[in-house]
Amino acid sequence: MTEFEHKHARPEHPIMDVIAERWSPYNYDPERSVERHKLLSCLEAARWAASSYNEQPWRFIVATKDSPEQFERGLGCLLEANQEWARHAPVLILTAYASKFSRNDKDNRVALHDLGLAVGNLSIEATRQGLHVHQMAGVNLSRVRAVYGIPEDHEPATAIAIGYARAQATSDELAARDSSQRQRNPLSQWVFGDKWGTTSSLL
Judged by CB under 8 A, the chain residues 142 through 161 that form the site for a copy of itself are: 148-151, 154, 157-158
Size of the site for a copy of itself (CB under 8 A): 78
Q: How far apart are CA 93 and CA 157, in angstroms?
A: 11
Mark residues 179-198: x for contact with a copy of itself by CB under 8 A, - for none. ---xxxx-x--xxxxxxxx-
Please return the burial class of 15, using the count of CB atoms within 10 Å of its CB with bins 0-12, 13-18 and 19+: exposed
Site for a copy of itself in 110-139 (CB under 8 A): 110, 112-117, 119-121, 123-125, 128, 135, 137
Q: Which is nearer to a copy of itself, 16 or 167 (CB)?
A: 16
Buried-exposed string 100-124: b where 16+ CB fall within 10 A, e elsewhere: ebeeeeeebebbbebbbbbbbbbbb
Rounded to a whole number of angstroms, the minimum distance from the CB of residue 190 to a copy of itself is: 5
Q: How far apart are CA 195 and CA 193, in angstroms?
A: 6
Q: Which is nearer to a copy of itself, 152 or 172 (CB)?
A: 152
**Does residue 169 interact with a copy of itself by CB under 8 A?**
no
The CA distances from residue 95 to 21, 133, 137, 159, in Å, are 23, 14, 10, 6
Site for a copy of itself in 32-61 (CB under 8 A): 36-37, 39-41, 43-45, 47-50, 52, 54, 56, 58-61
Cross-strand bridge partners of residue 155: 97
> How many Cα atoms sit within 13 Å of 2 on the Cβ side?
0
Q: Which is nearer to a copy of itself, 92 or 168 (CB)?
A: 92
Of positions 1, 3, 6, 15, contacts a copy of itself by CB under 8 A = 15
Of positions 18, 79, 169, 175, contacts a copy of itself by CB under 8 A = 18
Of positions 11, 68, 76, 130, contacts a copy of itself by CB under 8 A = 11
Asked whether 164 and 28 are in contact (CB, 8 A), the reply is yes
